[in-house]
């Protein structure tokens, strides 16, 4: 009998626990360990930040859902991983042994790389907000109430080294929509400040016509933008950014006044994972092979934001590659297949497709992109805008939360609809 421990009950880890339970014979144990006792649907945080969602609508107390599927749950942070001894230390000192470890701990939000940035509660300087967690989105909403009484300039964007740009665009457009509905938009100049070399780069070197479509959307919504921006410091109501040209030379220094700001930070690996000898790259992301297995430890697998992926291309201000939901699920499926095969005495051979699909809400409309594969040149490379994306995103939220509540690992929608679009989780063995 083997004990498989999954660390991190997010978009990757929770489906990983369900899929492992479904694939493995009952004599093997599956336990999910998470820093909190709830699952949060991160993609809905921008809606929470402007009051379009309540916290309870996008969080799920996860323990009872897992118990119904015979999956163990521990609501404690892992503070140490002893990969040699196959042992975790949990917050409070308790030990938990594993035979296989699946690391899905998501990002450490590295606010302190820019002095003054990020919520105080997350170790930041307190002058900008984030929507990376439900707590951060709620904190934005609290300050937004005061802002609405006396509105002024807003800065939204992504810091140097950020890899997750979709939500920064989403948030700018959602905020714009919310302010228009409140008839306050004319009092709020919005500037989008990003480390991307051009609008629509998205950490992916662009997808289809993302550059012209997102630029056009920003022009239509009266938003200004600064690209190649290296935000250097934030003070109360003021952001400092050095803009580089395409060769990486100084182009312009900016001092931007704001009343409220949301800037996505650079990501790193979480401390307990980053501290394991030989497991990670210098930023603490897990180094894995094509089977999602650690390059250093054969019984450790990893998926999601916490794995190391090289940037799609070098940019004047550093940017990373996003890891989107469906790509993460493809990694998770590969892990479940590989652990099941190993336990059955067969070699691990499943590889995730890592196809990037993203639905980005824009408040009243939305933009979707599909990049197959993620690294160009691509077989499928499209970016489309329409109200249907806004509706699809709402449907996706409902569908994913249902999947988490009821422990469904790959329901009909994915199996048939996405497959019909040529979007599958695993690389077919004959292509491998």
The residues of the shown chain that bind ligand FAD, judged by CB under 6 A, are 7-13, 33-36, 42-43, 45, 77-78, 104-106, 131-132, 164, 166-167, 270, 272, 304-306, 324-325, 328, 358-359
Per DSSP, the residues of 135-199 read HHHHHHHHHHHHHHHS---EEEEE-TT----HHHHHHHHHHHHHHHHTT-GGG--EEEEESSSST
What is the nearest approach in angstroms of ligand FAD to the Cβ of residue 183?
Answer: 27
Of 36 and 243, the one with the shorter C-beta distance to ligand FAD is 36
Q: Which is catalytic among the residues 132, 280, 306, 358? A: 358
CB atoms within 10 A of CB 134: 21
Residues contacting residue 179 through CB under 8 Å, at least 6 positions apart? 151, 185, 188
Q: What does the alpha-carbon distance between residue 52 and residue 45 come to, in Å, rounded to a whole number?
A: 10
Which three-class secondary structure state does DSSP give residue 44? helix
Q: How big is the chain by its Cα radius of gyration, in Å? A: 21
Judge whether 306 counts as a catalytic residue: no
Of 189 and 194, the one with the shorter C-beta distance to ligand FAD is 194
Q: Which residue's entry shows tokens 């059955």?
A: 344
Residues contacting residue 257 through CB under 8 Å, at least 6 positions apart? 152, 153, 237, 238
Of 104 and 231, the one with the shorter C-beta distance to ligand FAD is 104
What is the nearest approach in angstroms of ligand FAD to the Cβ of residue 309?
Answer: 12
* Residue showing the smallest CB distance to ligand FAD in the complex: 10
Of 89 and 349, the one with the shorter C-beta distance to ligand FAD is 89
Of 229 and 359, the one with the shorter C-beta distance to ligand FAD is 359
Strands laid side by side in the 100-103 sheet: 72-74, 29-33, 3-7, 100-103, 300-302
What is the 3-class SS of 328-361, one letter each residue? HHHHHHHHHHHHHHHHCCCCCCCCECCCEEEEEE
What is the nearest approach in angstroms of ligand FAD to the Cβ of residue 292?
Answer: 13
For residue 305, what are its two tokens? 């934001």
Biggest CA-to-CA distance, the chain:
65
Residue 81 forms beta bridges with which residues? 88
What is the nearest approach in angstroms of ligand FAD to the Cβ of residue 168?
Answer: 9
Which three-class secondary structure state does DSSP give residue 18? helix
What is the nearest approach in angstroms of ligand FAD to the Cβ of residue 233?
Answer: 23
Of 43 and 284, the one with the shorter C-beta distance to ligand FAD is 43
Which three-class secondary structure state does DSSP give residue 105? coil
Using alpha carbons, select from 283, 28, 296, 322 the residue that is nearest to residue 196: 322
Of 244 and 319, the one with the shorter C-beta distance to ligand FAD is 319
What is the nearest approach in angstroms of ligand FAD to the Cβ of residue 432?
Answer: 24
For residue 10, what are its two tokens? 């997010």
Q: Which is catalytic among the residues 65, 164, 280, 306? A: 164
Q: Please name the helix (run of DSSP H) or strand (run of DSSP E) that holds residue 19, with its range, or none.
A: helix 13-23
DSSP 413: I
Strands (E), 196-341: 223-226, 229-235, 238-244, 250-257, 260-264, 267-268, 300-302
Of 338 and 374, the one with the shorter C-beta distance to ligand FAD is 374
What is the nearest approach in angstroms of ligand FAD to the Cβ of residue 289?
Answer: 18
What is the nearest approach in angstroms of ligand FAD to the Cβ of residue 430?
Answer: 28
Instruction: List residues with catalytic annotation.
Output: 164, 358
């Amino acid at each position: 009998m083997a004990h498989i421990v999954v660390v991190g009950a997010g978009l990757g880890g929770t489906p990983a626990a369900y899929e492992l339970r479904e694939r493995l014979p009952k004599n093997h144990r599956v336990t999910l360990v998470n820093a909190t006792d709830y699952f949060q649907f991160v993609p809905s945080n921008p809606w929470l930040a402007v009051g379009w969602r309540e916290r309870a609508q996008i969080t799920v107390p996860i323990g009872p859902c897992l118990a119904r599927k015979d999956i163990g749950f521990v609501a404690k942070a892992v503070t140490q991983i002893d990969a040699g001894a196959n042992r975790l230390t949990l917050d409070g000192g308790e030990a938990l042994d594993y035979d296989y470890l699946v690391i899905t701990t998501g990002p450490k939000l590295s606010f302190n790389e820019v002095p003054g940035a990020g919520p105080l509660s997350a170790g930041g300087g307190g002058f900008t907000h984030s929507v990376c967690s439900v707590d951060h989105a709620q904190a934005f909403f609290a300050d937004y109430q005061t802002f609405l009484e006396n509105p002024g300039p807003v800065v939204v964007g992504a810091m140097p080294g950020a890899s997750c740009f979709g939500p920064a665009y989403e948030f700018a457009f959602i905020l714009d929509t919310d302010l228009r509905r409140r008839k306050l938009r004319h009092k709020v100049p919005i500037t989008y400040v990003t480390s991307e070399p051009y609008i629509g780069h998205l950490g992916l070197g662009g997808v289809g016509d993302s550059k012209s479509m997102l630029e056009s959307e920003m022009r239509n919504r009266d938003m200004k933008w600064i690209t190649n921006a290296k935000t250097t410091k934030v003070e109360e109501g003021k952001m400092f950014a050095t803009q580089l040209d395409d060769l990486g030379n100084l182009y312009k220094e900016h001092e931007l006044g704001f009343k409220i700001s949301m800037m996505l930070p650079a990501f790193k690996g979480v401390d307990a994972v980053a501290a394991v000898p030989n497991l990670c790259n210098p930023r603490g992301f897990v180094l894995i092979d094509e089977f999602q297995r650690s390059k250093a430890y054969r019984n450790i697998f990893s998926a999601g934001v916490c794995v190391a992926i090289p940037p799609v291309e070098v940019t004047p201000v550093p940017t990373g590659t996003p890891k989107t939901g469906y790509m993460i699920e493809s990694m998770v499926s590969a892990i479940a297949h590989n652990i099941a095969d190993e336990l059955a005495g067969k070699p691990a051979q499943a590889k995730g497709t890592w196809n990037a699909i993203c639905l980005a809400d824009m408040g009243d409309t939305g933009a979707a992109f599909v990049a197959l594969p993620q690294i160009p040149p691509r077989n499928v490379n499209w970016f489309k805008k329409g109200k249907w994306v806004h509706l699809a995103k709402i449907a996706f939220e409902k569908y994913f939360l249902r999947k988490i509540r009821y422990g469904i690992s790959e329901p009909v929608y994915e199996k048939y609809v996405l497959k019909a679009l040529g979007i599958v989780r695993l690389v077919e063995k004959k292509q491998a």
